[in-house]
Structure 1
Amino acid sequence: MKPALLALAAMVAPLMVASAAHADACDDRVRALQQSWDHVNFEVPEAVRTAEMARLNTQADAVVAQCPNRAEPLVWDAIITASEAGLRGGIGALGLVRDARSELERAERINPRALNGAVYVSLGSLYAQVPGAPLGFGNRQRARDYLQRGLAMAPNDIDANFFMGDLLVREHDWDGAARYLQRAIDAPARPGRAVADRGRKAEARTLLARAQQRH
């Protein structure tokens, strides 16, 4: 190898190692956010859940700042922000859900396939649950479109099936809701997500019982 190329390789190699280490650190931070959200959302008592979710939201903002141009921190920041909005409720929560939507749209521009389609599943759940105009941006057709994109990427995903089932319950499509909710209940376990899987499947069983009673 020519001396100039050797010199260039010597400069590039440390940068590649540093870049890989940074990526690994970001992945670790995202996993920590995920596990913390699982705990707060499904295990923390309701009396302190809002405060704990707000604290976690601050941590998620910091991870986004530490890992620029990465979609995964933005997705989890959006999920946590939307969760805080759901816990707070009322008009004051609308600013939070708009922030969550903006974060998901940013994540989509970076990598729409991040986290197995979670960008689209999260956008779908937002459009399904947020009030419509003039107060909010809720829109069930857009919710369906986003959820279908998520399901196309991960047809067996527990969250994609749960939120499609939830949307169909809201639309009183009891048969359709039952199919998706049963798929959520039957979804394969996710590594490291036992707490979330258990909590989500419990929610799916509750909604499924409601759909079967209305059938």
Structure 2
Amino acid sequence: MQKKIFFSPFLFILLTTLSIFTVHASTPDLLPLQHAWAKTNYELEGEAQLEAFSALIAQAKVLVEQSENSAEALTWLAISQSSTASAKGGLGALDFAESAKENLERAIDKEETVLDGTALTVLAALYHKVPGWPVSFGSGKKAENLFKRALEVNPHGMDQNFFYAEYLFDEGEYKEAQAFLTRAQNAPEKANRPLADEKRREEIAALQEKLNTKA
């Protein structure tokens, strides 16, 4: 198993990119938030990105209230918070990561299959990426369990398979990682997330290059 270091006095590494998923028809107000997140995550940097993520968190909180704490809105609030943690870095990221975890857990308690396994996948990725005790809540075992639950919900999803492949790669399970990465490569694209799909394909290709060196 490879030892991973995610924390130093100067750097706190969370997800560099997070998943973007199809919004259920029952929550149409989330679609503009989804597209705004993609542009913020992939096209902005520095203070402009942080300001945009802060605005997305505020919008998501309004949608959570308006939807009476729907699982979909809670999930997107958590995605916005997680992305803010990633962009912010340092010890200041911890509060955003913890808030994201809490909201994902709330969403899963309401509807485990929300957004085709999105909440499960993002929570699994957080457990995989953040430092463990005593710094934060990171846990490889919890991450793996959540990834497997997400894949039961959405076995052919691009994001579910990619993030699990990334986890397996970090754990040194290269053969298994390749199997799930191949599933991600073969996953169908979705019409309402062109930018996110393009960027995810780039990440899939980058992970494939890493796996090729392990063959």
TM category, shorter: 0.7 to 0.9
Q: Is this contact kept in 2: 1:182–1:204, CA < 8 A?
A: no
Q: Structure 1, residues 61-113: CA drift from partner, whole Å, max 9, x if none?
A: 11111111310000011011101101111211111111001001111121111
How many residues in Structure 1 have an aligned counterpart in Structure 2? 191
Structure of higher CA gyration radius? 1
Q: Is this contact kept in 2: 1:154–1:160, CA < 8 A?
A: yes
Query: Which ranges in structure 2 are unaligned for 5 or more consecutive residues?
Result: 1-23
Q: Is this contact kept in 2: 1:177–1:208, CA < 8 A?
A: no
State TM-score, norm by structure 2.
0.84
Query: Which ranges in structure 1 are unaligned for 5 or more consecutive residues?
Result: 1-22
Report the residue type matching 2:70 in the other structure. Answer: R
Larger fraction in helix: 1
Q: Distance in 2 between matches of 1:127 and 1:35?
A: 25
TM-fit CA distance, 1:187: 0.9
Report the residue type matching 1:209 in the other structure. Answer: E
- With over 3 angstroms needed to count, the CA separation of the structure-2 counterparts of 1:46 and 1:178, relative to structure 1, is farther
Q: Is this contact kept in 2: 1:166–1:207, CA < 8 A?
A: yes
Over the aligned positions, Cα root-mean-square deviation in angstroms equals: 1.6
Residue 132 (structure 1) aligns with: 132
* 3-state SS of 2:192 partner: coil
* 3-state SS of 1:192 partner: coil
Identity of aligned residues (%): 32
Q: Distance in 2 between matches of 1:125 and 1:83?
A: 12
Report the residue type matching 2:145 in the other structure. Answer: D
Greater RCO structure (CA 8 Å; 6+ sep): 2
Residue 17 (structure 1) aligns with: none
State TM-score, norm by structure 1.
0.84
Q: Distance in 1 between matches of 2:201 and 2:129?
A: 19
Residue 185 (structure 2) aligns with: 185
Residue 202 (structure 1) aligns with: 202
